Amino acid sequence: MANKTASFAPCARHFQMKTEILSTHTPELFKKAVRRAAELLRAGEVVALPTETVYGLAANALDENAVAKIFQIKGRPSHNPIIVHVASNEMAERCAAEFPALAKKLSQAFWPGPLTLVLPRAKNIPAAVTAAGETVGIRWPSHPFIQAVIRECGFPLAAPSANLSNQISPTNAEHVRAQLDGKISLVVDGGQSQVGIESTVLDLSVVPARILRPGMIHAESLVAAGLPLADPSSAKASGRGPTAEGALKSPGLLRKHYSPKAKLVIWDWLNDADLESQIRHRSSAISHTHIIAHTKIPSGEKLAGVSVIPHDVEAFARALYAELHRCDEAGVELIVVEAPPDSPEWSGIADRLQRAAA
């Protein structure tokens, strides 16, 4: 495995600070880390915290200056709004100008969990968070650590994924450290993210509601919980991605996003010989190609590597980004991912693979 610190490129714009990493695996360590994170957040600092989807880069959502630091650290374009994380229904309702019956129904069904609801914003949510728009994305995450920090702070936390802009989201503390070491004062290690891909983003500020970013809570679950979708089949986004309108509405949903450094392709193959011939056909070196497979596992002798992720949608989502991070560290040139099934449960994974391949 490549030296992990090698992937850290110092950024000239920021002076280097010492990045503290705190564990949470005993009740004492957990409490100590909650207190430290809350202390920094109250002082207007930015800290990396675990959530069940991916790690987040958090700041006080009501403090414009603190939120500005998130954009600076990530190199995030200012037109991309940030999700606000809450730890109760009351806090969620205080972030929105209106919290309609449909939002209540869906939040009851899926919160805490990997669903972000876009609603008209409350006046106290600064323009930096909403990218000067009239809506705000709100999510109540289920990870106990970020919940405890929000409760300790008493204010909501603005938090995008804790990666540099356009890179792969982190699903463990080491992924965060590799990208943000020296740029933030604290990374809290809350273990492997249990969901593994970012939340489903559902826009409830328009009628009919629209899925802006598919995730592990898919269209059919939303419809089963009472969401009227104009055309649920279009919202499946099974590999097709959001509409052009959706991409404009949510700049983070541009076609190319969430990309590894290597070229990524999504293929089917019959057997090893077929796979090798497809690799040769695009003039790539087999020895620099890494395969991520779930069903047709290649023997791997001539390849840079083979990762097997079980053919189980939840296990696949949980493991995917760690595999992509590993390929980046190893300096692989081509990543071939075995095509996921074309069914609603896989739509979030298909969406992220499409963007990584764009």
Among 250, 259, 347, 354, binds ligand TXA (CB under 6 A): 250
- Interface with ligand TXA, residue 219, by CB under 6 A: no
- Interface with Mg ion, residue 193, by CB under 5 A: no
Among 139, 175, 183, 318, binds ligand TXA (CB under 6 A): 139
Selection from ligand TXA, Mg ion, none that 47 binds (CB < 5 to 8 A by kind) is none
Selection from Mg ion, ligand TXA, none that 54 binds (CB < 5 to 8 A by kind) is ligand TXA
Among 135, 161, 238, 307, binds Mg ion (CB under 5 A): 161
Number of neighbours of residue 230 by Cβ within 10 angstroms: 10
Q: CA–CA separation, 335 vs 262, rounded Å?
A: 7
Number of neighbours of residue 224 by Cβ within 10 angstroms: 10
CB of 231 to ligand TXA, least distance (A): 20
The 98-137 contact track toward ligand TXA, x by CB under 6 A, reads ----------------x-x-x-----------x--x-xxx
Q: CA–CA separation, 57 vs 55, rounded Å?
A: 7
- Interface with ligand TXA, residue 204, by CB under 6 A: no
- Interface with ligand TXA, residue 232, by CB under 6 A: no
- Interface with Mg ion, residue 53, by CB under 5 A: no
Q: What is the DSSP letter of 199?
A: P
- Interface with Mg ion, residue 167, by CB under 5 A: no
Number of helices (H) and strands (E) in the chain: give both, helices first. 13, 14
Do 211 and 237 contact (CB within 8 A), yes or no? yes
Beta strand segments in the chain, E:
20-23, 47-49, 56-60, 84-85, 115-120, 135-139, 157-158, 186-189, 200-203, 210-213, 263-267, 289-293, 305-308, 334-338
CA dihedral sign, ordered 82, 188, 319, 332: positive
- Interface with ligand TXA, residue 83, by CB under 6 A: yes
Q: CA–CA separation, 280 vs 39, rounded Å?
A: 55
Selection from ligand TXA, Mg ion, none that 324 binds (CB < 5 to 8 A by kind) is none
CB of 133 to ligand TXA, least distance (A): 6
Do 190 and 170 contact (CB within 8 A), yes or no? no
Selection from ligand TXA, Mg ion, none that 253 binds (CB < 5 to 8 A by kind) is ligand TXA
Provide the binding-site residues for ligand TXA, judged by CB under 6 A. 51, 53-54, 56, 80-83, 114, 116, 118, 130, 133, 135-137, 139, 141, 159-161, 198-199, 201, 212-213, 249-253
